[in-house]
Structure 1
């Protein structure tokens, strides 16, 4: 550790505090996600896989911050005077139980989140060939992540996290997950852009219905990629800042996932035209009478473009076949 590097005990405390702040935001966004998935929805219409993934992300991030709190309490309070070398040596020990557990949780959450991004890419493209490269990168994430956690668990207490035998697996894991996320998000953004360009020719109004989804997808991808890239740079430079960034990546994964679902729900609500109520005045025998008109609700369930992908399908994240536009008039 260089003289201007962050001490291990300071880094552990900083990461726990900052992770707690982001975890609070992720809990609020989880509540918004549950609302977006269940609001005015029948039980049979709820997207159960996405519902389960949202809950799993919350559980993993919750367990992760609990383990981090226990780790800080052990290093700074419980074993402060009994651990050889003090708190700094405790937090530098990569074979310590809480260190291994929290990184195993991080690997699981990364695999879950990257898998969802790849699935979204498949839903948008409706082609297995498109997701071959992201799927291979996902397998690389799984192999390098599991191997890194196993190698850490088998290391001695004196092994540095920047040791060469650990570095190749950790760097491989970070590079693989950045590439998997960037490739899947880029493919989705390109597909949505081409669909929007095609349906714009047939849309009467100038307002875009799918570009907001593309924007939030890219925002989530950039947020996640920047956090991982920062962790990678810190690790390459043998800086303890990677400890902070890796811990922050756990709630950031959940936040990025939730913000996409919430934006899709908002976009879906805006696709419903509001009720139009007005009064019609008629003159009869010199008297003015008003007759309230019944609300007219026009529900456009979806618009299917010529390339067989619709905005409604992207919102539901369920692959389906070709459908025709449906109009429902409710008096």
Structure 2
């Protein structure tokens, strides 16, 4: 009885909010978001295939080992993204066709926050968001070789998980309006925590790659590859963070555009993850081919000019400690990328 009363009040509140001329109706938001999500999902499927081949065939990996962590993450993102687009299609067909003549019409159907399909979609979304944040934090841990550097991003990730679970529980318990004060506070905490965790880990990761590359250049031990990787990481992080920030902004403005962005976030998360791996692997393959070409040219050039050279070593040469540290750290990161860092 209480739940029915709550649903009636939520429906009245929703219909009043939909009457505004500046508000996008929920059924229109759903009709727009699903095709756009399908386009991005198709792109993510292609990128997943390329990523899967790069990881399993070990193209351009210095160690020649398959990174099971990144491979598992790629598969999990693909699975959650696929399930999410299937549920979106199910909701659109049921809401716009099967329930078009029911009480409240499609708007009431899409506004039911206690429905299993809405809760399941948000569970998938929470998993994808946490997975993306965890991957970036893991990369940050690898390049810094310190657990302390990711303490704050991890705490923000725990906050995202806790507020996300509380949000889902409130959806299932009382079927509130999406813009009521409690739901608004929980949504703000959940998404802002995720945004903070992802942005912080991305910046720390890019800074570490840049500083190691910068120090190595002083001793001519860098080929600029780590700087290129840092740019890739920043590009990916900027795309994800911008989309998440736009979602928060439209949600705080109580605009139904946030529903469109919410549906697009899942394939965007996958695309950003795949983009880093694909671009890095492509760069590594080009460098490998170029290095082989240079070595072959050098061998052919020197083939007819072989002669013995006598070398006398009469003085010990000490290598500065900072040079040793710089070369060691650069070599470690260079060998780890892209199989471990990315």
State the 1:208 CA deviation: 1.3
SS at match of 1:50: helix
Please say if 1:77 is aligned against 2:94: no
Please say if 1:163 is aligned against 2:180: yes
Report the number of matched residues: 296
What does 1:95-114 correspond to in 2, within 5 Å?
A: 95-114=114-133
Name the structure 2 match of 1:324.
Answer: none
Name the structure 2 match of 1:286.
Answer: none
TM-score by length of 2: 0.81
TM-score by length of 1: 0.83
Name the structure 1 match of 2:26.
Answer: 8
SS at match of 2:178: coil
Tell me, which stretches of 5 or more residues in structure 1 are unaligned? Answer: 282-289, 292-302, 320-331
Q: In 2, distance between residues paired with 1:197 and 1:204?
A: 10
- Given the alignment, which residue of 75, 78, 83 partners 1:58? 78
Cα deviation digits, residues 178-203 of structure 1 (max 9, x gap):
00000000101111110010111233
SS at match of 2:174: coil
Name the structure 1 match of 2:195.
Answer: 178
Name the structure 1 match of 2:224.
Answer: 208
Q: In 1, distance between residues paired with 2:131 and 2:55?
A: 19
Q: In 1, distance between residues paired with 2:221 and 2:69?
A: 35
> Is the contact made by 2:58 and 2:64 (CA closer than 8 Å) also made in structure 1?
no
Tell me, which stretches of 5 or more residues in structure 2 are unaligned? Answer: 1-16, 305-323
The structure showing larger relative contact order (alpha-carbon pairs under 8 Å, at least 6 residues apart) is: 2
State the 1:316 CA deviation: 2.1
Cα deviation digits, residues 224-263 of structure 1 (max 9, x gap):
0111111101110111111011111100000000011112
- Given the alignment, which residue of 305, 308, 313 partners 2:326? 305
Q: In 2, distance between residues paired with 1:131 and 1:140?
A: 14
Please say if 1:189 is aligned against 2:210: no
Name the structure 2 match of 1:220.
Answer: 236
Name the structure 2 match of 1:147.
Answer: 166
Name the structure 2 match of 1:294.
Answer: none
Structure 1 segments of 4+ aligned residues over 4 angstroms from their partners: 40-44, 276-281
- Given the alignment, which residue of 54, 57, 79 partners 1:36? 54
Q: Quote the RMSD (CA, aligned, Å).
A: 2.4
> Is the contact made by 2:37 and 2:264 (CA closer than 8 Å) also made in structure 1?
yes
- Given the alignment, which residue of 77, 87, 97 partners 2:106? 87
Q: In 2, distance between residues paired with 1:189 and 1:86?
A: 49
> Is the contact made by 1:213 and 1:267 (CA closer than 8 Å) also made in structure 2?
no
Name the structure 2 match of 1:247.
Answer: 263
Q: In 2, distance between residues paired with 1:81 and 1:90?
A: 11
